[in-house]
Chain A
Amino acid sequence: MRVINTIKVALRALRRNTMRSILTALGIIIGVGAVIAMVSIGNGAKAQVEAQVASLGENVITVFPGSFTAGGMRGGWGSMSTLTVDDSEAIRRETVNVLGVSPEMRDRAQVLANGLNWNTQIMGESPDYSTIRSWPIASGAMFTDQDVRSVAKVAVIGKTVADQLFPDGEELGQTIRIRNIPFKIVGILAAKGFNLFGQDQDDTVVIPYTSHMKRIARRPNINSILVQAASAKTIEKVQQDITDLLMQRRKGREQDFTVRNQVELAQAATATSETMTVLLSAIAGVSLVVGGIGIMNIMLVSVTERTREIGIRLAVGAHGRDVLLQFLIEAVILSSLGGIIGIALGVGFSELVSLKTGWPILVSPTSVVVAVAFSAVVGVFFGFYPARKAAQLDPIEALRYE
């Protein structure tokens, strides 16, 4: 009963100073709104990045060639072509828990067809490439192991290349000329979009790696090896096995290759967005604290302003606890109300950003619960000092206060 009355009294006091109450709550509104918006947008950005990482393929391990060293000058990874098709074959033969292996060749070249031409990335791969990169063929089919063995002049082309060279469609079965060598189109890759670094993944032509080595690049060494591990659990083991195997094949020579997995790539990519989320949330959190101090400030003014009222209440028999509760409830109502409005604002803002940028916005229930709980705690924390000050007033002094 006393508590209900106290709540009524607190509500009435807030209503009497509507403008001041709104402005005080505004600090919390902005704080909570900012926290929720930042966490939501951050989560959305992270999900976006993760989706892009997933587009690289599942459980993919990449073996890069090593660094070139001459006269003490070290060239960095990839500066020397130290990987061979034999390495790739060894991995395929001797490593367990491997779903697919593809030796990779990369070169840019001019492609001609249909009276048009286009400069694009020419990839030499094994037929596993499509499954390793989780990249289905939209029409036609992937070239086969037979094509690889026979150094066949067949190609699978990306959506962008198809659009550029064959504006009217009907690409399948047509011939394109790469460095003046005719290749028959046997398949079209499904559209994949841009990768993490903003490159158009569909701007590519994939041919058997043997054909690439012998007819296009004319090099004995491969650019890298793609390996797909059976599962996320085995990925590190497979990585280690590959390292061991290749070292064994180097017979005591220095390690001239490096083995990376996709998880590491993903971590590097999401690290940025995670850092941003933490940073922005921290700033938003600071604004929440500032809002809390605003509440404390107003509550202190309010206590001073209403010293006489407190005196009257104490004189007619209010306990210190009643006065404490009254002011504490006022503070908590201010901050909780601010919290609730802040959630609405934060979610609204996130939706707006989502609409403008096309990012998926993930309003996490945790962030909502934490924001509300935090705003209530802010109310109690910053309301307590002024409320206790009010409760400890001496009734005689308070009544005499002008």
Chain B
Amino acid sequence: MAPVVKIEEIHKIYDSGEIPVHAVRGVSLEIHRGEFVALMGASGSGKSTLMNLLGCLDRPTRGRYLLDDTDVSQLDRNELADIRNQKIGFVFQGFNLLARTTALENTELPMMYGQRHHSSREMRQRALHSLEIVGLSDRADHFPNQLSGGQQQRVAIARALANEPEILLADEPTGNLDSKTSVEVMGVFQKLNGQGITIVMVTHELDIARYCKRNLILRDGRLVRDELVQDCLQADEEMRKLREAEAAAKLTSA
């Protein structure tokens, strides 16, 4: 089976400033269906740039990018927008939900800009289904400011899933969350991955990366390590441990 993502010798050079910045220097990579990849690296390693390229938010300066067998490296602005709409789901560090807009309406957002026509009833049903997957169908009418950080990130995941994308891209999805909520969100990702959804996430936290199946490490715009994770952490397991630890803390303090 063809890989979902196939990039060949991809380069990205920014020359907006005085000196051109070579952010990505020849990365080649294949990601297959059902993978759960963590993209790691120090700041300035080019991981965000690579993520933007993978997410079709930006075009590579050189190299080829095949997404689901389509060459997307030379598409124009609007064609890229359609690819993002149909094939990619985004989850951001800062959640990026529309304020004063309900969870349900936030989830409907990608369907509004789709090529396919959806009736408002259909949009609502599909959005509700997405919210159900992340366990928030009872919060459909809540506004983002009425939800906790973890819940907001789950709404963002539901939005990413709305158009049934080929690949889910998450940029530091746990960056704004405490450790317990991070585990909760990783649990959602693991569950989705278990259902066969391909996920690529950027993180700089080693323990978060251990929830993924494959770790990529970037340094100075080059891929320096690509390894499978030997002992994957299971979010359910970790959650249980955390709860036990909390209970123990309460017992001792009582």
Contact = CB atoms under 8 A, between A and B. Distances in A.
Given A396-B58, A399-B92, A316 B98 contact: no
Contact of B81 (A2, A5, A12, A319): A319
Interface stretch (A57-65, A120-128, A156-164, A304-312): A304-312
Contact of A316 (B78, B100, B101, B113): B113
Given A1-B117, A396-B52, A308 B96 contact: yes
A315 B96 CA distance: 10
Contacts of A215: none
B57 A317 contact: no
A16 B98 CA distance: 12
B57 A5 contact: no
B241 interface: no
Contact of A317 (B58, B86, B96): B86
B84 A315 contact: yes
Given A314-B81, A396-B57, A319 B113 contact: yes
B21 to A, nearest CB: 14
A132 to B, nearest CB: 75
Interface in A298-329: 308-309, 311-322
B100 A317 contact: no
A320 B78 CA distance: 7
A27 interface: no
Given A396-B58, A399-B92, A317 B98 contact: no
Given A395-B57, A396-B57, A317 B92 contact: no
Nearest to B93: A399
Contact of B85 (A5, A12, A316, A321): A316
Contacts of B77: 319-320
A317 B82 contact: yes
Contacts of B85: 316-317
B112 interface: yes
Interface in B189-231: none
B109 interface: yes
B36 interface: no
Contacts of A317: 81-82, 84-86, 110, 113-114, 163
B65 interface: no
Interface residues of B, number: 28
Given A317-B113, A395-B57, A312 B98 contact: yes
Contact of B96 (A1, A312, A396): A312
Given A318-B81, A396-B58, A313 B113 contact: yes
Contact of B112 (A5, A12, A16, A396): A5
B159 interface: yes
B147 to A, nearest CB: 16
Given A314-B81, A316-B110, A396-B57, A309 B86 contact: no
A9 B106 CA distance: 12
A313 B109 contact: yes
A19 to B, nearest CB: 15
Given A309-B98, A316-B84, A2 B57 contact: no
Contacts of A5: 112
Contacts of B90: 315-316
Contacts of A399: 92, 96
A329 to B, nearest CB: 14
A5 B111 CA distance: 10
A315 B84 CA distance: 7
A312 B112 CA distance: 13
Given A16-B100, A311-B96, A312-B96, A318 B113 contact: yes
A316 B159 CA distance: 9
Contacts of A395: 57
Contacts of A396: 52, 57-58
Interface string B149-191: 0000000000100010000000000000000000000000000
Nearest to B123: A5
Interface in B54-101: 55, 57-58, 77-78, 81-82, 84-86, 90, 92, 96-101
A318 B90 CA distance: 14
Contacts of A308: 96
Nearest to B48: A396
Interface of B: 52, 55, 57-58, 77-78, 81-82, 84-86, 90, 92, 96-101, 109-110, 112-114, 117-118, 159, 163
13 contacts: A1-B117, A2-B113, A9-B112, A312-B96, A312-B97, A315-B57, A316-B159, A317-B110, A317-B163, A319-B82, A322-B113, A396-B57, A399-B96
Interface of A: 1-2, 5, 9, 12, 16, 308-309, 311-322, 395-396, 399
- List the 10 shortest-distance A-B pairs measured between CB atoms, nearest first: A317-B85, A316-B110, A317-B113, A318-B113, A319-B78, A5-B112, A317-B84, A317-B81, A312-B96, A1-B117
